[in-house]
Structure 1
Amino acid sequence: MQRFKQDSFTKEPFGKSHSMNLHKRRARSPHTVTVFVHGLNGSGYGTWKAWPKILFDGQGEFPPTDVAMFYYPSLFKAACRLQLGANIDLQAQQLADHLQELSEEYDEIYLVAHSLGGLVAEAAVSTYLNKLGMRERDSLPVSPIAAIFLMASPLGGSGKALLLFSVFRDVRRLRLLSEEQARYAQFFNSYVQVQCLASEGNYRFIVPRFAGIATLDVAVSPTSASGSIPGEQRRQFRGTHFSVVKPKSPMDPQHTWLMASIRDVQEMRAQWHRNAKQKKLATVLQDDSASDIFITQLESERRKSAWDIIYNRVRAEASTSYVDVLDYSHVKAGTKVDLLIAVNRASGVIEGTQMSKQLVVGAVEAFESGATASVGICPVGEERIEAEAEVNNWLPSRVKNKFYIEGANDDEGIGEVIGGWIDALLHRHPSRQSNRSHQNSLRLPYDAYEEAEEL
């Protein structure tokens, strides 16, 4: 690997024995690096045009980051070296070796791969993770490989390419349901959580995969480019198979999508580390007498969604060096919940859907059984006021005025509502007693909590 320290991105020739150029910021030491992997018959720099420079230099709200360019001769470029195409397995091994080297100096590695480069990148990542798992049995699910962005990559093969140049071995790699692709797909399906979620579930690693799809692509169909990528992690861009990886400015949709997705991944990784820390803290929770640890639980119509991310962020922000707010999943079964939070759609409440009613019924049962000390119900949507009134109508008279009922206009408002309830928990409920009643709708300023505590 060749390293170049620069103030502004400048292309550098690849050495005869080097397949990667690393461009490092001279004035700072970023914790992240973006690796570019070109496609069939592509070039280390030409495939991407201005995109590496846009990332490296940074503009406006987008911070600069180091970039690494990976090059391997393929198709006609390989033919010039008297080779019938690239040896993909060999190139993947070389890239995996580079990833190992990068992981020693970067906390987060993002791969942006085009076309055939997506298959090379996934083969390299599976090789890297396999070795990591064997070498470090206790390696974390959030490894230095942070995410993979597959731009117009034939995850399901490309029959059109085979019709033209089937004599080349790298082109044959693109055939539908090839054995090699099936092998790597099996690895990701079995061991890697590809959704951008902080909980790894039954998977060994967390590496979110994103797909960029070109609407005018005649080489790779939208179905093939989508593969098994989660729907919310796919994005269509107007452009051809080649232009989709050539944004001209930081405001082009490809770049803004990339940066927004990276921010989501960074939040997910931070949340995973917070969860891991809190799981360790939870081991000290022996009974309900620990007044510096509070337990909350989220129930909603949308499991593993943006609402979970908002809830976890607010819960983490409320935790300090003196107080920890743990999620119910982090403590032993049967531990009493201090605050049960039910979030549902305002429209669902007004329509009286079974799911919305069940959330409220479940909250009432948890409160009356003593499983939770307090309950907050938050209908989300422009009809929140009407939905608040409807929730009140569903509540039995014996629990009315004992729940927090406060809606939010949109997802952004959910954080403010939940934050207010957790503030009330920390300031009004330090001894974790469950016999205090709560206001029907909590809209007190922070100072009011301080006054309430003094009372």
Structure 2
Amino acid sequence: MSEGDVLPKFWAEAPAPRPFDDSGLHVHRYEGVTGHSLVVFVHGWGGSGYTTWGELPNQIYDDPTLPADVALFDYVSGARRRVNNNPDLETVAEELQTQVESTPYERIVFVCHSMGGVVASAALRLSLESVSSRTRQPLAHRTIGIVFLASPRAGVRPLIFGRSKDARFLRSQNDVVARNDRFFTNRVDPHLERSAPTKLWIPLWAGRATSDAIVTHFSSAYGIPSDQSVPFRGDHRSFLHKQDLRDWVLKACRSSLLHVVQAPPDSATPAIRTQFRGHPEHSHWEDAYHEAVTKFQEKSKGIVVFDATHGQRRGEPLDLRVRVIPADLFDVRDYAVDFERYAQELASGLLHTLGVVPFGGLGLAVASEVAAQFVEIPAWVSPADTSENLEELIVLWLERTKRSLIFAHRLSRVDTGDVS
């Protein structure tokens, strides 16, 4: 696939401040280097892809301690709507989701100013709500950090922006902000030190302007851990160009890129490393997975499940990989590459246990076909036709994995309750 097929534009040189160009995602990468991490800037109301940020993208691009390429996302808002097209912010969020998901980057960090935080938050939410035929991981599973800068996470004061097209996406209690809030509350662990193994682990950061007349301190820090929310001198826009703010953004990006990806479970805590993969049209499969993990941890006291679904480095071992596939549309040729990789992981010891679930009315027939791919290296293959069946199956596999790891002396014998 050519670069032009992947993104509207690609640049190999370092980004520099420039006037508004075409809307879309503009990626700057190191020439000749295939990166795995990307820092994406999303401007706020009335801003633009380059002029909003000044030298901040350059600093991140040039920092040798930040192994990431840089992208700037531009969209029409504010006064620019008078002379350009007029998509609403839900459409803008879909565009951001689609364009970032189309890139090959496995780890994404967002840096968002003001309304850009609403756009990026909606993009993550939509990535798990939307139905598509994409082959890459959803954006929410690839995002490992979001830096909000004066973003109205709980909306803005009622009179701000008046009756503009963007206003309804910013007012307190509006539908988009409310849905974003439910998504982050129910699905995301925002702490740098992971505290909720069954949720997506996406550290959230908030930079607040001390003289902000648009976004209140409460709104900008809403839902952010207190030690990841920092005030800076300046107003809603001027504080973006203060060096102390820039230094803090670099630190937040660095912490997200390095800490999240590399941090294993506490070595003193017995843990099973798992990874889930389903299908973008069936988000209820992942919901069943999270429910199963919760039930298992409640029963297996003393053992946690470390979910590496969106935070596993290449080459890191896994204890249990759960793969759910749609049985009614199954063609073994579509999964040949994946099955070969799983077999190699099992043979090399990078993967201890593989569980494959053909889901749907044809599950039993497909299960036999899948099992034939792992004759020499056994895997667990079982059909399911309801979310409840899937949940019970994953709980069973977690318990089997626990017993296997204990017998192999890879997991401490602790008071784990009944495993029969």
Task: Please give the TM-score of this superposition, normalised by the length of structure 1.
Answer: 0.55
Q: How many residues align?
A: 302
Q: Does 1:8 align with 2:2?
A: no
Q: Does 1:238 align with 2:239?
A: no
Structure number with the bigger relative contact order (C-alpha 8 A, sep ≥ 6) is 2
- Mapped to 1, the partners of 2:264 and 2:15 lie a distance apart of 28
The CA deviation string for residues 214-235 of structure 1, in whole angstroms up to 9 with x for no partner, is: 2232221111111112333323
Classify the secondary structure of the residue corresponding to 2:29.
strand
Q: 1:269 to 1:11 in 2, by over 3 A?
A: farther
Partner of 2:125: 126
- Mapped to 1, the partners of 2:81 and 2:139 lie a distance apart of 37
Q: Is the 8 A contact 1:54 1:249 kept in 2?
A: no
The CA deviation string for residues 172-205 of structure 1, in whole angstroms up to 9 with x for no partner, is: 32211112211222222233333345575443x3
Aligned residue identity for 1:96: Q
Q: 1:298 to 1:151 in 2, by over 3 A?
A: farther
Q: Equivalences for 1:385-424 in 2 at 5 Å?
A: none
Task: Give, in angstroms, the shift of residue 163 of structure 1.
Answer: 2.1
Q: Does 1:172 align with 2:168?
A: yes
- Mapped to 1, the partners of 2:20 and 2:183 lie a distance apart of 32
The CA deviation string for residues 324-350 of structure 1, in whole angstroms up to 9 with x for no partner, is: 9xxx99724995998999xxxxxxxxx
Aligned residue identity for 1:33: L
Classify the secondary structure of the residue corresponding to 1:172.
helix
Q: Which has the larger radius of gyration?
A: 1
- Mapped to 2, the partners of 1:158 and 1:322 lie a distance apart of 52
Q: 1:339 to 1:130 in 2, by over 3 A?
A: closer
Q: Is the 8 A contact 2:101 2:136 kept in 1?
A: no
- Mapped to 2, the partners of 1:25 and 1:155 lie a distance apart of 33
Q: 1:244 to 1:267 in 2, by over 3 A?
A: farther
Q: 1:334 to 1:251 in 2, by over 3 A?
A: closer
- What is the percent sequence identity of the aligned residues? 26
Aligned residue identity for 1:146: I
Gaps of 5+ in 2: 1-6, 276-299, 306-315, 318-347, 352-397
- Mapped to 2, the partners of 1:101 and 1:268 lie a distance apart of 27
- Mapped to 1, the partners of 2:66 and 2:59 lie a distance apart of 10
Partner of 1:263: 258
Q: Does 1:101 align with 2:102?
A: yes
Q: Is the 8 A contact 1:158 1:224 kept in 2?
A: yes
- Mapped to 2, the partners of 1:74 and 1:3 lie a distance apart of 21
Task: Please give the TM-score of this superposition, normalised by the length of structure 2.
Answer: 0.59
Aligned residue identity for 1:131: S
Q: Is the 8 A contact 1:151 1:212 kept in 2?
A: yes
Classify the secondary structure of the residue corresponding to 1:276.
strand
Classify the secondary structure of the residue corresponding to 2:180.
helix
- Mapped to 1, the partners of 2:18 and 2:243 lie a distance apart of 20
Partner of 1:111: 110
Classify the secondary structure of the residue corresponding to 1:253.
helix
- Mapped to 2, the partners of 1:323 and 1:93 lie a distance apart of 36
Task: Give, in angstroms, the shift of residue 125 of structure 1.
Answer: 1.1
- Mapped to 2, the partners of 1:6 and 1:150 lie a distance apart of 27
Classify the secondary structure of the residue corresponding to 1:146.
strand
Pick aligned residue for 1:190 from 180, 186, 190: 186
- Mapped to 1, the partners of 2:402 and 2:410 lie a distance apart of 14
Q: Is the 8 A contact 1:58 1:65 kept in 2?
A: no
- Mapped to 2, the partners of 1:135 and 1:241 lie a distance apart of 40
- Mapped to 2, the partners of 1:116 and 1:141 lie a distance apart of 19
- Mapped to 1, the partners of 2:147 and 2:179 lie a distance apart of 20
Aligned residue identity for 1:9: P
Partner of 1:149: 147
Partner of 1:72: 75
- Mapped to 2, the partners of 1:87 and 1:121 lie a distance apart of 14
Task: Give, in angstroms, the shift of residue 63 of structure 1.
Answer: 3.2
Q: 1:216 to 1:338 in 2, by over 3 A?
A: farther
Classify the secondary structure of the residue corresponding to 2:211.
coil
Aligned residue identity for 1:257: A
Gaps of 5+ in 1: 278-296, 305-315, 342-365, 372-455
Classify the secondary structure of the residue corresponding to 1:163.
coil
Q: Is the 8 A contact 1:3 1:23 kept in 2?
A: no
Classify the secondary structure of the residue corresponding to 2:16.
coil
Q: Does 1:276 align with 2:282?
A: no
Q: Does 1:32 align with 2:27?
A: no
Q: Equivalences for 1:279-290 in 2 at 5 Å?
A: none
What CA RMSD, in Å, does the superposition of the two structures yield over aligned residues?
Answer: 4.6
Which range moved further: 134-143 or 262-271?
134-143
Partner of 2:52: 47
